[in-house]
Amino acid sequence: MIAAATQTVHGPHIDVAGLSPLIALGGGAIVVLLVGLLRPRFVREGLVPLLSLVALGATLGLSIWQWNEGKSIISGALRVDSLALGLTALFVIAGMLTVVLSWRALAPRESAHGEYYAMLLASIAGMSVLVQAQNLVTLFLGLELLSIPLYVLCATEMRRASSLESGLKYLIVGSVGSATLLYGLALIYGATGSTDFAGIAHALPKGSAMLTDPLFLTGMALVVVGLAFKASVAPFHQWTPDVYEGAPTPITAFMATATKAAALGVFIRFFDVALINAHDNWAPVLAALAAVTIVVGNVGAIGQSSVKRILAWSGVAQAGYMLAGVVVGTQLGIQAVTFYLAGYLVMNIAAFAVVVARSRETALGDSLAAFEGLGGRNPFLGWSMTIAMLGLAGIPGTAGFVGKFFLIDAAVDGDYTWLGIVIVIGSAISLTYYLRIIAAIWMKPTPHAVPALAGGSAEIEPGEVPVGPRPAGLEVTAVAVLCAAATIVLGIVPGPLFDVAKDTATAIGHLL
Amino acid sequence: MNLSILLWLPAAVGLVAAFAPRQIAPKLVALATLVTLGLAIYLIADYDPSGGMQHVTDTMWISQLGIHYKLGVDGLNLFLIGLTTLGFAAAAVAANFRQWDKPGLFYLHLALGETAVLGAFMAQDLALFVVFFDLMLIPFYFLAGQWGVGDDRIKAVTKMVVYTFVGSLLMLGAAIATGVLSAGDGHAISFALSDLRAHKLGTSTQEWIFLLFALAFLVKMPAFPFHGWMPDGYKAMPIEVLAVFSAVLSKVAAYGFLRIVLPVFPDATAHFQDLMLILALASILYGSVMAFTSTNARLVLGYSSIAQLGFITLGIFALNDRGAQGAVLQMVNHGLVVIPLILIVGILARRAGGSEDLRDMGGIAFRAPVLATLFLISAFATLAMPGSSNFVGEFFILLGVFESKQAFAYIAFAGVALAAVYALRLFIRAMHNRPSPQVESKELSFRDGLVLVPLVAVILFFAVYPQLALHRAEKSVTATIQPAVEVTK
């Protein structure tokens, strides 16, 4: 018996190289959490964000290192391929920019620096797991790892009721979404007898009776609903404006970009891999959802006066555009989605960085009034916001135009021309609210700065803007300018990003 | 000559000017527009009338989407490029005589506008055309919204931008569909117009795509009943900007029909010929009647543009050589006439206490014979007085329509008569009659003359020698309408 115990145990092979991006994220989260316990102020306010950046940078480097490997790890539960790594790189970039925006923000100071950044890293790890998942269980695991830290992060400005409300709302709605998803996954498992994506695809050959099985179809519908909650696809988007408005702005920026990318990534993984043979069943449903989302998002944004709410609604609409790329289920569609996600990331972060700057400089928060006359007062922020808005509207010369071009191209190519037309109609509607922001920046007179009264005076004279708590900070302006510049560069020289997008799409083999 | 230089020069100088000191920026951009004009004149002189695409630049821009950066000049766009550079040069010089808030930005937008419009005229790739077509509105949005007139201008320009973008974006969808669907049978996707001409789409596909393109162009022109943005938009713009906007941007739309729609969708063109002719007639009649009844001088010109663009559309969809040639000539003529007319409205308004209402004007000719002469020449050109180049253009258009669809020609003749009514009414109300109390009749200043006299000289030059344009355009016009003509036969 003793002899047996001393025998070498042959454990499963652990592919450390493949796991390394996840290890960097998880390890980084733990290190950041522990270092955050130290007393000195410079450690908490300087070292902790720096270490988070290092962890994210390491993840990015390791993802690039593993780029061409394309292998399954952990007994096929995760797949490290160019699609997963490309999306991970997007999450990491969004995370880095969020860290920079959070550096001197209120939220980490009010909660605790270590916890704040650790949760951010954990959430990114969850996203990474989610888009690598090859299995219903890991899919759900990744989704929860992504969501739970975000619920908390939304509520980190603890002394502001709307932040707490945002966190709570997100928790409740997100849990409903997760529960629905889980139920759907269980039904699909019940119908196909497999939790593995490959196994599910195998159990559903083209034209099999399973494709009309009510159990399977119900499961699929529930999965669509669950994921639609996460990606804020209409009609499951109602939480989005409230949560985006209430959450600390850097977290909103992170949710708007990274979470959306993760949700679309899992749409691609699940529908274009596991359920590709059921394409005829789900494609019309997703197409209808995409069309509804585009219309609802764009119409919802029109009457808003809070810029964060406008961006939330616009994010709903943009999810609809990208869903069109998933619907067609082709290489071109996946390429278009990943390309658009990258462009969408820089445009949105540029916009949110300007919101961060303005809500620090003025006491008006993120209302449209805080942007009046910004072009004359601070041309850097003014131009960054203008470029971001033009980009989101899809004006030529920006990443948004090329992205939309690509999406419509994919839609027409995949016989969904009508969805391409819905995209252009949505873009036309979207101009009304993007132009409102641009008009506020350039076409309204520059107001005079007046000191804000204690207790928040309700009486703001026209032509006056109360001064906010502190200056915008150079790093926030830098993020805005950098992302705006990237919007233009990707719009004029999209070639390199196209190549990357093409590479990510090759990760998925059997498409239509 | 490398067309890229001509194309990007204004934008590049505009960017420099944005960072230049406020005294230098205006002069820098004005100089750049004049140099661009010089280059365009060289291009016209250098053009080989035997036809074909000349000075072609063709490199791949986005290979994955098959989008080429392809520029070229032929008889269709040669004079429109000249008109564009002339219009922007006139606007930039005229703007130099006024003080603008944030001059660097103002001239940056003006310069970007020139590059975008030139790009739309030069593009020989459908996607590139759409890019510039969409892009050219943005600088004008800023110019009107930031430096425009009236308190409602933001609303007005937003309406204008959204209105025209609905059309443009639908065109974007249609353009992508054209590229993707014509690449169906195995060969790589390409948006180059020459490739699209070679691979025709099926008739039913052509038809819905035609409608989307037509909508975009008719809104941009504007044509009745898609002109809803025009009155407010015209009233909101600074007068110098309006001059070039009215002269040039509407021509991009008309040009789009000739360059893209007729050769790429010939079956649909033949199918919808009557519909387009009816819309053109409606524009002529509606525009003329409105121009006759408006009291705002800007709107008189705005509505007269609707009517003139109606004539141009009529010529294009006559689908024969004469009609199309007349349309090309008339595009240039209308632009040449409308620039000085709109600038004159600005000059008149300054003499009428700032009002652009015709009822507040009158008697200005009294002590301003030179101004009156310049105005009269432009007005006569507008109403297509025999001897003017506009007469030649309209004659060709009517001849073309008469040959293909007689009934339409009879109605169009009425439009010619109406043009005389509104042009003379504008002139008489402003220059003759009894002076209104706040009117100050004084001669044209030297500065204003500096802009107006050369513009009117160009009108006179074309009146004497319209052959210059006709001869150079002939071969290209025949080639571009050829596919549609074959279908109708």
Mean pLDDT for the stretch of residues A449-470: 66
Cβ-defined contact of A408 to B172 (cutoff 8 Å)? yes
Chain A residues near residue B180 by CB distance under 8 angstroms? 409, 412-413
At residue B186 the predicted structure's pLDDT band, cuts being 50, 70 and 90, is low
Q: What angle do CA A371, A374, A378 make, to 5 degrees?
A: 140
Q: Mutual orientation of helices A474-492 and A82-102 as an angle, nearest 10°?
A: 150
| More confident of the two residues B37 and B357 | B37
d(CA A113, CA A175): 26
CA A14 from chain centre, in angstroms, equals 30
Residues of A in contact with B138 (CB under 8 A): 390, 395
- Rounded CA separation A71/A82 (Å): 10
Test B169 with A425 for CB contact under 8 angstroms. Answer: yes
CA distance A61 to A48: 20
Contact of B309 with B224, CB cutoff 8 Å: no
Place of tokens 């109606």: B310
The partner residues of A79 in beta bridges, in order of sequence, read A72
Alpha-carbon distance of B132 to A398, in angstroms, equals 12
- The DSSP bridge partners found for residue B58 are B70
**Peptide bond connecting A149 to the previous residue in cis, omega within 30 degrees of 0:** no
- Mark out chain B residues that contact chain A at CB-CB < 8 A: 62-65, 102, 127, 130-132, 134-135, 138, 141-142, 145-146, 153-154, 158, 161-162, 165-166, 169-170, 172-173, 176-177, 179-181, 189
- The residues pairing with B10 across neighbouring beta strands, listed in sequence order, are none
Quick one: pLDDT at residue B15? 92
Contact flag A435-B65 (C-beta cutoff 8 Å): no
Taking the C-alpha atoms of residue B187 and residue B8, their distance in angstroms, rounded to an integer, is 32
| Predicted pLDDT at B184 | 67
d(CA A261, CA A124): 11
Nearest to A420 by CA among B163, B181, B471: B181
Q: Is A506 on the interface with B (CB under 8 A)?
A: no
The residue of chain A nearest to residue B178, with distances taken between CA atoms, is A412
Spatial neighbors of A399 by CB under 8 A, at least 6 apart, are: A342, A343, A346, A347, A391, A486, A487, A488, A490, A491, A494
Mean pLDDT taken over chain B: 89
- Can you tell me the distance from the alpha carbon of B441 to that of B453, in angstroms, rounded to the nearest whole number? 19
Enumerate the domain spans of chain B: 1-221+228-259, 272-489
Beta bridge partners of A306: A367
Facing residue for B162 by CB, picked from A395, A405, A431: A431
B161 and A431 within 8 Å at the Cβ level: the answer is yes
Residues A413 and A405 sit within 8 Å (Cβ to Cβ): no
Q: Shortest Cα distance from A388 to chain B (angstroms)? A: 14
pLDDT of residue A79: 87
The HSE-up count of residue A512 (CA atoms within 13 Å, CB side) is: 22
Average confidence (pLDDT) over B376-403: 88
Most confident of A47-61, A195-209, A445-459: A47-61
How far, in Å, CA of A366 to CA of A357, rounded?
Answer: 10
Q: Do B172 and A436 touch (CB under 8 A)?
A: no
A365 to chain B, any CB pair closer than 8 A? The answer is no
Could you say which of B131, B176, B181 has the minimum Cβ distance to residue A396? B131
Q: Which residues contact A427 (CB under 8 A, 6 or more apart)?
A: A393, A394, A404, B165, B169
Query: Are A356 and A101 a contacting pair, CB within 8 Å?
Result: yes
Q: What is the DSSP letter of A213?
A: -
Determine, for residues B64 and A495 on separate chains, whether the beta-carbon distance falls below 8 Å.
yes
Q: Find the closest chain B residue to A373 by CA distance.
A: B146
User: Which residues in chain A (62-101) have CB-CB distances under 8 A to chain B?
Assistant: none
Query: Nearest CA to A249 among A48, A113, A45, A107?
Result: A107
Hey, of A417, A446, A488, A490, which one would you mutate to test binding to chain B, going by the most B CBs within 10 A of its CB?
A: A417
Distance, in Å, from the CA atom of A508 to the CA atom of A330, rounded to the nearest integer, reads 10
Which residues partner with B59 through β-bridges? B69
CA distance B135 to chain A (A): 6
Q: Is the dihedral of CA A148, A154, A155, A161 positive or negative?
A: negative
Residue B304 makes CB contacts below 8 A (sequence gap 6+) with B287, B288, B291, B382, B419, B422, B423
Angle at which helix B24-46 crosses helix B78-96, to 10 degrees, equals 160
Question: Which token pair is B119?
Answer: 């790009």
A446 in contact with B, Cβ within 8 Å: no
| DSSP at B63 | G
Distance CA A319, CA A334 (A): 14
H or E segment to which residue B23 belongs: none
B38-84 tens-digit pLDDT: 999 999 988 888 878 888 888 888 888 889 999 999 888 899 999 99
Rounded CA gap, B391 and B46, in Å? 27
Q: Is A200 in CB contact (< 8 Å) with chain B?
A: no
Q: Which of B172, B181, B204 to mutate to test the interface with A (most CBs of A within 10 A)?
A: B172
Q: pLDDT at position A58, please?
A: 93
State whether residue B272 is helix, strand or coil: coil
Of A395, A402, A404, the CB nearest to B138: A395
- What average pLDDT does this structure show over B221-245? 90
* Cα B255 from Cα A193, distance rounded (Å): 62
Choose the closest CB to B176 out of A394, A420, A427.
Answer: A420
Please list the residues that pair with A72 across neighbouring strands: A79
pLDDT tens digit sequence for A218-236: 999 999 999 999 888 988 8
Contacts of B131 in chain A (CB under 8 A): 396-397, 401
CA of residue A426 relative to chain centroid, distance = 20
Task: Give the model's pLDDT for residue B275.
Answer: 93
How far is residue A440's CA from residue A427's CA, in Å, rounded to a whole number?
20
User: Given CA atoms A137, A139, A145, A150 in this order, what sign does their dihedral have?
Assistant: negative
DSSP B366: G
- The conformation of residue A12, written as its DSSP 8-state character, comes to P
- What mean pLDDT is predicted for residues B120-141? 92
Share of chain B above pLDDT 70, in %: 99
Q: Which candidate, A383, A396, A403, A342, places its Cα nearest to that of A485?
A: A383
pLDDT above 90 as % of chain B: 41
Average pLDDT across chain A, whole number: 88
For chain A, how are helix, strand and coil distributed in percent, rounded to 5? 75, 5, 20
Mark A158-180 as b/e (b = at least 16 C-beta within 10 Å): eebeebbbbbebbbebbeebbeb
- Nearest C-alpha in A relative to B146: A443
Q: How far is the alpha carbon of A475 from chain B, nearest alpha carbon, in Å?
A: 23
What's the CA gap between A289 and A225, in Å, rounded? 10
Q: Cβ contact (<8 Å) for A409 and B176?
A: yes
Q: How far is A164 from chain B (nearest CA, A)?
A: 37
Please give the sequence-ordered ranges of beta strands (E in DSSP) within B11-145, or none if there are none.
54-62, 67-73
Find all residues with CB under 8 Å of B362, minimum gap 6, and list them.
B429, B430, B431, B432, B433, B434, B435, B436, B439
Confidence of residue A458 (pLDDT cuts 50, 70, 90): low
The candidate with the shortest Cα–Cα distance to A322, out of A270, A262, A243, is A262
| Phi (first) and psi of residue A465, to 5 degrees | -130, 125
Contact of A222 with A74, CB cutoff 8 Å: no
CB pairs under 8 A between A and B: 85
Say if CB A215 and CB A187 are below 8 A apart.
Answer: yes
Instruction: Give helix then strand counts, H and E, for chain A.
Output: 23, 4
Q: Is the model's pLDDT at A177 over the cut of 80?
A: yes
3-state secondary structure of B223: coil
Cα–Cα dist A414/A129, whole Å = 29
A169: tokens are 């709302």
**Complex prediction ipTM:** 0.90
Residue A390 has pLDDT above 90, yes or no: yes
Q: Is the pLDDT higher at B351 or at A251?
A: A251
The span from the CA of B109 to the CA of A86, in Å, is 38
As a whole number of angstroms, the distance between CA B389 and CA B336 comes to 10
**Token pair in block for residue B167:** 């059309």
Q: Three-state SS for A135? A: strand
User: How do residues B410-449 score in pLDDT, each as one tens digit?
Assistant: 888 888 888 888 888 888 888 887 777 777 777 888 888 8
Res. A422: pLDDT tops 80: yes
Angle at B22 between CA A483 and CA B30, to 5 degrees: 95
Backbone φ and ψ for A297, nearest 5 degrees, come out as: -60, -45
Phi then psi dihedrals of residue B177, to 5 deg: -60, -40
Q: How far is CA B348 from CA A52, B121, B285, B444, in A?
A: 66, 32, 27, 10
Q: How many Å lie between the alpha carbon of A485 and the closest alpha carbon of chain B?
A: 15
> What residue of A is the nearest CA neighbor of B130?
A396
Q: By the 8 A CB rule, do B250 and B303 touch?
A: no
Give B-chain residues touching A396 at CB under 8 angstroms. Answer: 130-132, 134-135
Which residue out of B65, B131, B149, B176 would a mutagenesis test of the A interface target, given it has the greatest number of A Cβ atoms within 10 Å? B176
Closest listed residue to residue B145, CA positions, set A422, A276, A386: A386
A380 reaches B (C-beta below 8 A):
no
Question: B108 with B138: CB under 8 angstroms?
Answer: no
Give B158's contacts in chain A (Cβ within 8 Å).
432, 435-436, 439
Query: Residue B275: how many CB atoms within 10 A of its CB?
Result: 13
Q: Indicate yes or no: CB of A443 within 8 angstroms of CB of B127.
A: no
User: Residue A4's pLDDT band (boundaries 50, 70, 90)?
Assistant: low
